[in-house]
């Protein structure tokens, strides 16, 4: 890439000490220090426990040898599970805490947005808080003066701008906070999942603003769980796992790999018809695959999809052999069970040979969640065999026209039901 490097992260590691830090009180630490001075053993360590002070196990590496560069104008996404080290990385980049080893070099002013409305004072008015929050985020008074009208207009709370913030609803506080942040105009902007708040209309506004920022040649580092937002915004993605960079590359590739990893086996699994395939001498499952309405896109709540299964019957001739599919969500709740016989009572799988069926799940039925598919075979009313873990996939929240996630609805399922006035 020929663009100018604006951030260079090299060999960054961050170590945290586990458990109680040092002595609990000053006198304890003084005792330890005094004993050390006289070359005596630590008086506070119980016998048999001496080794522990040097043990590596007292420490926890939140990040290890992280290395990447960010170029001008990029929107870099950082993804990973909870506890993967994303937040620590963010804290290091925003200078909230120092690294244990390595260095971060940056060119240009960095502003970080780990929270919306940082430092708002409830007794001050909206206008006063714009100044305070803006200054905390690194603007000077002249810059805020020149942007205050735009900030107020963006927040959409003109009528309440001279009311103390303590009388604001939480939504209004968020809007005001984001409005200030959106007008920061630093060369590098670091954003945590602050977009996960606010109503859909305001989220759209925020997303548009972020796109504007990157178009104007500034750089954004965006940390999120929301794959839909990451995909629609980011030009490149870093996947962090256990404090290390697993993959660093184009958004589509990294997000796909991340999601596949996240769902265990991914959305397709097949076995050669050998002894490895689940089942027994008489019957083996050989293929389970997810087929999506839009194969190249994320599976959204509004999309239909099909689960296709294939199995080989080696020698059962039994009219009472049945197959059914269970869909289990991330909370291990059996969301639905569907049997072939309910739909196609005339189909007989108790016949030698390969059988292949597909089951369509309509859109607007399941809620956004992780899912896995279990396949069961039942013979004469008794479980013949069960493959509890075949494919896994994620269903994502519906997305607005700009590609922004509209949030998870309540309930295990979210079918679109018919309402009428009576």
How far apart are CB 5 and other proteins at their closest, in Å? Answer: 6
Q: Are 363 and 322 in contact (CB under 8 A)?
A: no
Candidates 16-24, 36-44, 326-334, 406-414: pick the segment binding other proteins (CB under 8 A): 16-24
Inter-CA distances, 308 with 59, 74, 90, 367, 390, Å: 47, 40, 42, 21, 11
Ranges within 153-182 binding other proteins (CB under 8 A): 164
Candidates 19-27, 155-163, 252-260, 328-336: pick the segment binding other proteins (CB under 8 A): 19-27
Q: Are 298 and 228 in contact (CB under 8 A)?
A: yes
Candidates 132-140, 155-163, 225-233, 384-392: pick the segment binding other proteins (CB under 8 A): 132-140
Residue 5 or residue 409: which is nearer to other proteins going by CB?
Answer: 5
**Does the protein bind other proteins through residue 1 (CB under 8 A)?**
no
**Does the protein bind other proteins through residue 217 (CB under 8 A)?**
no
**Does the protein bind other proteins through residue 146 (CB under 8 A)?**
no
Contact residue for other proteins among 18, 136, 334, 412 (CB under 8 A): 136
Local structure of 388: helix, strand or coil: coil
Cα angle at 306 between 296 and 224, to 5 degrees?
A: 45
Q: Are 70 and 6 in contact (CB under 8 A)?
A: yes
Residue 173 or residue 414: which is nearer to other proteins going by CB?
Answer: 173
For the residues of 293-310, what is the DSSP string, one character each?
Answer: SSTTS--BTTS-EEEEEE
Contact residue for other proteins among 138, 171, 208, 407 (CB under 8 A): 138
CA distance 239 to 247: 5
Residue 145 or residue 252: which is nearer to other proteins going by CB?
Answer: 145
Determine whether 186 is exposed, middle or buried from the number of CB atoms within 10 Å of its CB (0-12, 13-18, 19+): buried
Residue 113 or residue 285: which is nearer to other proteins going by CB?
Answer: 113
Contact residue for other proteins among 25, 54, 82, 216 (CB under 8 A): 25
Task: Return the bridge partners of 285, or none.
Answer: 311
How far apart are CB 108 and other proteins at their closest, in Å? Answer: 6
CA distance 23 to 28: 5
How far apart are CB 10 and other proteins at their closest, in Å? Answer: 10
Inter-CA distances, 55 with 14, 49, 58, 277, Å: 17, 10, 6, 45
Q: Are 66 and 14 in contact (CB under 8 A)?
A: no
CA distance 32 to 10: 36
CA distance 356 to 326: 17
How far apart are CB 134 and other proteins at their closest, in Å? Answer: 9
**Does the protein bind other proteins through residue 185 (CB under 8 A)?**
no
**Does the protein bind other proteins through residue 334 (CB under 8 A)?**
no
- Count of residues that interact with other proteins, criterion CB under 8 A: 50
Local structure of 162: helix, strand or coil: coil
How far apart are CB 161 and other proteins at their closest, in Å? Answer: 16
How far apart are CB 158 and other proteins at their closest, in Å? Answer: 22
CA distance 4 to 228: 28
Residue 20 or residue 422: which is nearer to other proteins going by CB?
Answer: 20
First to last CA, the chain: 63
Local structure of 242: helix, strand or coil: coil
Ranges within 26-65 binding other proteins (CB under 8 A): 26-27, 29
Ranges within 67-126 binding other proteins (CB under 8 A): 91-92, 94-110, 112, 114-115, 118-119, 121, 123-124
Q: Are 92 and 102 in contact (CB under 8 A)?
A: no
**Does the protein bind other proteins through residue 19 (CB under 8 A)?**
no
Residue 12 or residue 325: which is nearer to other proteins going by CB?
Answer: 12
Interface residues with other proteins (CB under 8 A) are: 2, 4-5, 8, 16-17, 21-22, 25-27, 29, 91-92, 94-110, 112, 114-115, 118-119, 121, 123-124, 128, 131-132, 135-141, 164
């Amino acid at each position: 890439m020929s663009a100018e490097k604006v951030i260079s992260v090299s060999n960054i590691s961050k170590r945290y000490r586990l458990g109680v830090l040092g002595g609990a009180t000053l006198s304890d630490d003084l005792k330890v220090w005094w004993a050390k001075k006289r070359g005596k053993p630590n008086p506070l360590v119980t016998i048999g426990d001496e080794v522990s002070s040097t043990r590596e196990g007292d420490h926890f590496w939140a990040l290890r040898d992280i290395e990447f560069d960010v170029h001008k104008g990029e929107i870099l996404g950082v993804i990973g599970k909870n506890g993967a080290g994303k937040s620590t990385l963010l804290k290091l980049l925003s200078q909230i805490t120092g690294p244990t080893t390595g260095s971060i070099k940056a060119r240009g002013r960095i502003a970080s947005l780990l929270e919306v409305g940082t430092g708002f004072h409830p007794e001050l008015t909206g206008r006063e808080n714009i100044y305070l929050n803006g200054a905390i985020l690194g603007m000077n008074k002249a810059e805020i003066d020149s942007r205050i009208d735009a900030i107020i207009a963006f927040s959409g709370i003109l009528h309440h701008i001279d009311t103390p913030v303590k009388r604001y609803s939480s939504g209004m506080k968020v809007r005001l906070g984001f409005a200030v942040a959106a007008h920061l105009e630093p060369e590098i902007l670091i954003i945590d999942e602050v977009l996960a708040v606010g109503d859909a209309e305001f989220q759209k506004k925020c997303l548009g603003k972020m796109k504007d920022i990157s178009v104007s040649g500034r750089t954004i580092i965006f940390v999120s769980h929301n794959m839909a937002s990451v995909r629609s915004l980011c030009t490149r993605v870093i996947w962090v796992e256990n404090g290390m960079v697993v993959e660093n590359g184009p958004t589509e590739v990294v997000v796909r790999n991340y999601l596949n990893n996240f769902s265990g086996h991914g959305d397709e699994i097949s076995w050669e018809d050998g002894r490895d395939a689940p089942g027994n001498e008489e019957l083996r499952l050989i293929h389970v695959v997810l087929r999506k309405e839009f194969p190249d896109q994320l599976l959204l709540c509004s999309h239909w999809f099909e689960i296709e299964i294939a199995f080989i019957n080696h020698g059962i001739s039994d009219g009472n052999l049945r197959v059914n599919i269970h869909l289990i969500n991330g909370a291990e709740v059996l969301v639905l069970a569907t049997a072939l016989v309910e739909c196609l009572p005339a189909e007989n799988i108790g016949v030698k040979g390969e059988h292949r069926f597909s089951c369509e799940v309509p859109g607007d039925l399941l809620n956004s969640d992780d899912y896995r598919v279990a396949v069961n075979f039942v013979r004469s009313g008794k479980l013949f065999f069960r493959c509890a873990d075949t494919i896994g996939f994620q269903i994502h929240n519906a997305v607005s026209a700009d590609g922004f996630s509209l949030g998870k609805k309540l309930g295990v399922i979210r079918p679109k039901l018919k309402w009428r006035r009576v």
